[in-house]
Every structure is written in structure tokens, then in C-alpha cells.
């Protein structure tokens, strides 16, 4: 009887440790996702900037 209870306790403890590890990973994922969205917003803001660009490439004498 004692061995069964101990085995159950060990299994429960392992499960709790695995759940805690998953929670830690998920908390970091939410921070990473927020960072990705911030970068996307910055890129969209840069795309909206319509300053004329200097053309590059082969130039003729008329240019």
C-alpha cells in the first residue's frame, strides 16, 4: 500500500514539474510574440514614409 502511494506521489511530482516548465516557456512566448508585433508595427510605419529615393543604376549623359 505504501509503495503505491509513494509511486502516485512521485508521478504527481513529475507532472507538477513538467507543468511548471511548460508555464515558464509560455510566459516567455507571450513576451516574444509582443516583441514581434512591435517590430511589425515599426516596419509598417517605415513603409508609410514616402520620401523620394535617389535612383541608382546606369546613368546616361543626359542625367
Look-up of cell digits 517605415: 46
**DSSP three-state, residue 49:** coil
pTM of the model: 0.41
Q: What is the DSSP string of 5-48?
A: HHHHHHHHHHHHHHHHHHHHHHHHHHHHHHHHHHHHHHHHHHHH
For 31-58, the pLDDT digits (tens) are 888 889 999 888 887 776 677 777 788 8
Nearest residue to 27 (alpha-carbon basis) of 39, 37, 19: 19
Report whether pLDDT(63) > 60: no
Amino acid at each position: 500500500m505504501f509503495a503505491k502511494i509513494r509511486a502516485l506521489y512521485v508521478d504527481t511530482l513529475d507532472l507538477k514539474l513538467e507543468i511548471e516548465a511548460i508555464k515558464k516557456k509560455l510566459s516567455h512566448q507571450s513576451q516574444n510574440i509582443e516583441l514581434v508585433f512591435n517590430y511589425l508595427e515599426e516596419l509598417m510605419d517605415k513603409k508609410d514614409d514616402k520620401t523620394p529615393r535617389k535612383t541608382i543604376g546606369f546613368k546616361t549623359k543626359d542625367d
